Amino acid sequence: MKGISAVLATVLIVVITVAIIGMAYGWATGMFEMVGDTSEEQVSGATDSLSKTVEILTIKCEYRDETHCDNVLTFAVKNTGTKNIASGEMGAFIDNTDIDNLFTTSVSIKEDTSLDAGEVKQFSYRTSDEIYFNTDKEIILKVSAPAGSVEETVLCPELEICLSPINPPNPIDS
């Protein structure tokens, strides 16, 4: 009987060892597969972001007229990347302040606009902020996209004509 117990114990040890090695192999394989998938997704996401670049093609800021009493900032943006830019992925800033806080528009670059690869869109923003434009003012327009931002400088005229008591500012109209 003593001989059978030693053989049985050896077989059990071998079976347990093989089972432990099998479980360790399965765990390690799953772990490396999961890490590989995550890395691939991160690289793909970074590559997509770098493929979403913009350029400011034109920019002008001009006094519209005494009836409307506002400045109109018009600029064109081109998607120079190879991927489409979805709504919410772009933003525009005047002197580092969100453009939607300074100007009004019917189509916000930040919320309402997507831009296909190679596409150009024009934006018009209006303001009657007599405090901000109480003199000719050079402003910096920054347009941001997932791959970075671009800046252009433009001179906006003062709204002095609108500020006279004879011709008070009117609310912004179309």
For residue 73, tell me if it sits in a domain: yes
For residue 171, tell me if it sits in a domain: no
The total number of structural domains in the chain stands at 2
Is 2 or 50 the better-scoring residue by pLDDT?
50
Task: Quote the mean pLDDT of the chain.
Answer: 79
Q: Which domain holds residue 42?
A: 1-50
Predicted local confidence at residue 99, as pLDDT: 84
The pLDDT of residue 163 is above 80: no
Quick one: the chain helix, strand, coil %, rounded to 5? 35, 30, 35
B/e letters for 141-164, b = 16+ CB within 10 Å, e = fewer, are bbbbbbbeeeeeebebeebeebee
Reported as a single tens digit per residue, the pLDDT across 96-123 is 888 877 777 777 777 777 889 999 998 8
- Same domain assignment for residues 24 and 101: no
What CA–CA distance (Å, rounded) separates 146 from 40?
19
Q: What percent of the chain has pLDDT over 70?
A: 73
- Same domain assignment for residues 93 and 154: yes
For residue 170, tell me if it sits in a domain: no
For residue 172, tell me if it sits in a domain: no
The pLDDT of residue 174 is above 50: no
- Same domain assignment for residues 29 and 68: no
CATH of residue 59's domain is: 2.60.40.10
